[in-house]
A = this chain, B = another copy of it.
Amino acid sequence: MAEIPTKERKILVAVDEGEESAYALSWCLKNVITDNSKDTLILLYAKPPRTVYTALDGTGYLFSSDIMAAMARYGNDVADCVIEKAKRTCTDLQDVKVESRIECGDPRDVICEVVEKIGADVLVMGSHGYGILKRAFLGSVSNHCAQNVKCPVLIVKKPKTNVENK
């Protein structure tokens, strides 16, 4: 049987704007990470690619450069905000190194690429991130990653409650 790595672990958590990825991160902190370990926790946010903003190129309907710049700024602000929020969730960790990465691109590609690049030992993600409509077109991000990355994948679903039934 293949040997289980006993070295320090790289735990990659994919975060986005949604509550489910926040729950996945919290669940991971409580259930996977041991605070006396030398784990490295990497928070990854996949920022929608620039092509989203320039999708209307060539149709004769172009955004002005002002609007383009404002949209790019908005994208950066969202990314910073998501990462900051995720980092705040991790403030209680003492012996765990927390890193963050913001990468531009389709979350499905970005997550798989970063797993490979950094040699992650486990990938943690919510199951329903990136919006219902987008998911319907793109397919489930978690499903794609579970099938394509080589390391173990932990898919965390936010339990439905009576208060917030979504």
Q: Which residues of A are at the interface with B, using a C-beta cutoff of 8 A?
A: 1-2, 4, 6, 9, 19, 22-24, 26-27, 30-32, 34, 121-122, 127, 140, 142-143, 146-147, 149-161, 164
Consensus secondary structure, chain A interface = loop
User: Which residue of B is nearest A157, CB measured?
Assistant: B150
Is the CB–CB distance between A158 and B2 below 8 Å? yes
A1 touching B23 by the CB < 8 A rule? yes
> Which chain B residues border A122 with CB–CB below 8 Å?
31
Q: Which of B24, B151, B156 contacts A157 (CB 8 A)?
A: B151
Partner of A159 from the list B2, B140, B159 (CB cut-off 8 Å) is B2
- Complex CA distance for A93 and B56, rounded to whole angstroms: 59
* Complex alpha-carbon distance, A103 and B121, angstroms: 32
Is there an interface contact between B152 and A152, defined as CB atoms closer than 8 Å? Answer: no
List, in ascending order, chain B residues with CB within 8 A of A23's CB: 1-2, 4
Q: For the complex, give the distance between the alpha carbons of A4 and B121 in Å.
A: 23
Alpha-carbon distance A105/B4, docked complex (angstroms) = 31
- Are A155 and B157 in contact, with the CB atoms below 8 A? no
Contact A142 B152 (CB under 8 A): no
Given known A150-B157, A152-B156, A154-B153, contact A9–B22 (CB-CB < 8 A): no
